[in-house]
Amino acid sequence: MKLTDRVLSLVVILAGFCSTLNAEVQTRRIAYEENGAQLEGVLAWDDSSDAARPGILVVHEWWGLNDYAENRARQLAELGYIAFALDMYGKGQITEHPQQAGEWSSQIRSNSEAWRSRAIAGLDILKAQPMVDQSKIAAIGYCFGGSTVLQLAYADAPVRGVVSFHGALVTPSESDTIDASVLVCHGASDSFVPPESVQEFEAAMQKVNADYQLISYGGARHAFTNPNAGSFGIENLKYDPLADSRSWDQMQLFLDEIFQNKQ
């Protein structure tokens, strides 16, 4: 190889290396509308590749689309996914007050059809992104968001699977068709979701022959994945770093499985 050719090859290699170093997770806010409500979510992706990748919808806790939900979207982007953190309440509707959060979430929960429609509107935004592999889409959610992704599964939304982290275990009706795989990561000491609710959920899922997993983390309470859980003055809210780490690892195994094996 001539010296000039070697120099040229080195330049190409260094250019590729620098390009990789400069690649990072990008975010973009996307405004959208559903049934007259003005909403705004956050898209996150790693710009090191232009290839189509699986898409993950992220549904926030009952506090609204805050930094926690956005950070989860960024974490998913770091794993190589295209993530969209949707907005279930309305642009700017974020709170740290339990009473306000309860009012907003209860309003959404009061009508299952409207609840599902609001979540599907966010899913449509994710699907519309040209970087997303349309055949590989899933949804994850936390607390209120965990219940919301279960509703997506019950609505037979075009997702391969859903993951609920410490969500209330809403049950499907006998008429629901559930093609999506379901992973529930549950805190065994969560007083908001007592053993009776877990039993009712499992019985309902078995009745409709759903593909589901329920993993219970001993000693974990509600909101066990959120480092700020203890700051809201609610005894049942407590961060559990071990349960957080284990459930995140379990989610990754679940996503690998449904994207590689599920048709």
- Tell me the CATH number at 238: 3.40.50.1820
Region 195-224: mean pLDDT is: 97
Domain total of the chain: 1
Task: Identify the band that residue 55 occupies on the pLDDT scale cut at 50, 70 and 90.
Answer: very high
Task: Identify the band that residue 2 occupies on the pLDDT scale cut at 50, 70 and 90.
Answer: low
Amino acid at 143: C
Residue 209 lies in a domain: yes
The pLDDT value given to residue 231: 95
Contact 121, 156 (CB under 8 A): no
Who wins on pLDDT, 54 or 5? 54
Task: Identify the band that residue 175 occupies on the pLDDT scale cut at 50, 70 and 90.
Answer: confident
Q: Quick check: 24 pLDDT over 80?
A: yes
Beta-sheet pairing, 37-46 with 82-85: antiparallel
Task: Identify the band that residue 261 occupies on the pLDDT scale cut at 50, 70 and 90.
Answer: confident
Region 71-92: mean pLDDT is: 98
> Which letter, b or e, does each residue of 136-153 get, where b requires 16 or more Cβ atoms within 10 Å of its Cβ?
bbbbbbbbbbbbbbbbbb
Q: Average pLDDT, whole number, for the chain?
A: 92
Residue 82 lies in a domain: yes
Q: Quick check: 6 pLDDT over 60?
A: no
- Sign of the alpha-carbon dihedral angle for 189, 190, 196, 201: negative
Residue 7 lies in a domain: no
The pLDDT value given to residue 174: 86
The pLDDT value given to residue 263: 52
Residue 11 lies in a domain: no
The pLDDT value given to residue 13: 41
The pLDDT value given to residue 234: 96
Contact 149, 143 (CB under 8 A): no
Picking from 10-14, 20-24, 112-116, 196-200, which range would have the lowest pLDDT averaged per residue? 10-14
Residue 221 lies in a domain: yes
- pTM of this structure: 0.90
The fraction of the chain above a pLDDT of 70, given in percent, is 90
Residue 8 lies in a domain: no
Task: Identify the band that residue 118 occupies on the pLDDT scale cut at 50, 70 and 90.
Answer: very high
Residue 9 lies in a domain: no
The pLDDT value given to residue 3: 45
Residue 19 lies in a domain: no
Q: What angle do CA 147, 161, 110 make, to 5 degrees?
A: 20
Q: Quick check: 212 pLDDT over 90?
A: yes
The pLDDT value given to residue 114: 97
Range of the domain at 74: 25-261
Distance CA 60, CA 54 (A): 20
The pLDDT value given to residue 19: 38
The pLDDT value given to residue 12: 41
